[in-house]
Amino acid sequence: MYRQHTVGVVVPAYNEEGFVGDVLRTMPEYVDRIYAVDDCSTDGTWDEIRQTAEEINGAAEESVAAVRADEQPVTATDGGPAFDRRVVPIQHETNRGVGGAIKTGYLEALEDKIDITAVMGGDGQMDPDILSRFLDPIVEGKADYTKGNRLVDKEYRDGMSRWRFFGNSVLTFLTKIASGYWKMMDPQNGYTAISQRALENVGIEEMYEYYGYCNDLLVKLNARGMRIADVPMPAVYGDEESSIDYPSYIWNVSGMLLRNFCWRLKARYLVLDFHPLALFYLLGTAICGVGVLGIAWSLYAWMTLAAPLFVRGSVSALLFVTGCLFVFFAMLFDMQANESMEV
């Protein structure tokens, strides 16, 4: 336990042989439950998880029994007493993506009624010694969800290539708009922690299973009124090989963010409550679209039909600028509405 809160850690792993075992062994002592999820790896990841689990569970048997004697009894997923095994090995029969692996761990943590559930990748890039920084804001009631931030300090960005930094910055901006967390940075950071209350309310069963799961979860958290906090941390990249197909990743995540943005506006500002910013976004986008079409037609008519350009082009440009103003005002209203939701 950590400050009277039970702590679980989900460790998603896909082809992390040689890394995941060390991740499990270096987990802080106060972590009650470790959900090691092998996402149908093609190497020796599953064997490494099982062997390490047997090693840790065997060594911790006496201390776990003492914890059970002191804690309130909770039913575990295997039908026995809670925390009978510190490490719970789980294997997917098919590859479901990192989001799918994390979803599996989250659902297990909900069954175990874990107070705070963190996520640490099986690649060894996340320092277990700073896990308490992610837990403290939740324990103190300041936030429902915490996530790492590698962009806040130049010193922390030293381990990140310029290409990674550029891509992360673009996704940060898009996720700010989609999620409504305008102060948040580094949404792709997978080092996170979430409270039991937040986990129960975000509809984790519907969580996106591709690499954009973290962006998807941020949108759902905002729609449910959950507070988040960024935790500064350095960027660390080891010898592991990324399995991300970047063209597919960019296409899928961009589409997901657009869908989630529209869903959030409807759910939070039209269904659960009402705020005119949703209408400002809608009108602004529509007027911008009309303006762009008008400008394109004006240029076409001028070039092919020798039609006058000034009046038609000016009206179209005015419509475009007006639409942009509507969108900017909508963003401003969204920032104000979410100001208290970021620590």
In a domain, 202, yes or no: yes
**Pair 210, 223: CB distance under 8 Å:** no
Evaluate whether residue 212 is within a structural domain.
yes
Identify the pLDDT of residue 300. Answer: 85
Span 146-163, average pLDDT: 80
Q: Is the dihedral of CA 303, 307, 313, 316 positive or negative?
A: negative
Q: Based on the fold, state whether residues 247 and 294 are members of the same structural domain.
A: no
CATH code for the domain in which residue 207 is found: 3.90.550.10
pLDDT of residue 238: 58
Q: Which of 66-80, 137-151, 179-193, 239-253 has the lowest mean pLDDT?
A: 66-80
**pLDDT at residue number 241:** 56
In a domain, 187, yes or no: yes
Domain membership of residue 70 as a residue range: 7-252
- Looking at every residue in the chain, the average pLDDT score rounds to 88
User: Considering its fold, how many domains does the chain have in total?
Assistant: 2
The sign of the torsion formed by the CA atoms of 296, 299, 302, 308 equals positive
Beta-carbon contacts of residue 8 (< 8 Å; ≥ 6 apart): 31, 32, 33, 34, 35, 105, 108, 109, 112, 114, 116, 117, 118
Cβ–Cβ < 8 Å for 10, 117? yes
Residue 269, domain member (yes or no): no
The pLDDT value recorded for residue 275 is 92
Q: Lowest-confidence range among 114-118, 150-154, 288-292?
A: 150-154
- The confidence band for 209, taking pLDDT boundaries of 50, 70 and 90, is confident
Window from 229-238, 314-323, 328-337 with minimum mean pLDDT: 229-238
Residues 66 and 164 placed together within one structural domain of the fold: yes
- Between 252 and 214, the more confident residue is 214
pLDDT value of position 240: 54
Average pLDDT on 172-188 reads 94
pLDDT, one tens digit per residue, over 235-278 is 776 555 555 666 677 788 889 999 999 999 999 999 988 999 99
Final residue of a structural domain among 252, 267, 291: 252
Q: What is the pLDDT of residues 64-118, one digit of tens each?
A: 444 444 444 344 433 333 567 899 999 999 999 999 999 999 999 999 999 999 9
| Model pLDDT, residue 157 | 72
Model confidence pLDDT, tens digit, residues 2-25: 999 999 999 999 999 999 999 999
Asked whether residue 43 is assigned to any structural domain, the reply reads yes
Dihedral angle at the C-alpha atoms of 133, 59, 48, 208, nearest 10 degrees? -40
Q: 331 in a domain, yes or no?
A: yes
pTM metric for this prediction: 0.85
Choose among 92, 85, 129: nearest CA to 15: 92
Q: What is the dihedral of CA 334, 335, 336, 339, to 10 degrees?
A: 130
* Strand 192-195, strand 145-149: pairing: antiparallel
Do 247 and 329 lie in a common domain?
Answer: no
Buried-state track 11-50, b at ≥16 Cβ within 10 A, e below 16: bbbbbbbebbbebbeebeeebbbbbbbbbbbeeebbebbe
Do 183 and 312 sit in the same domain of this protein? no
Of the chain, the percentage scoring pLDDT greater than 90 comes to: 70
Longest dimension (CA), the chain: 88
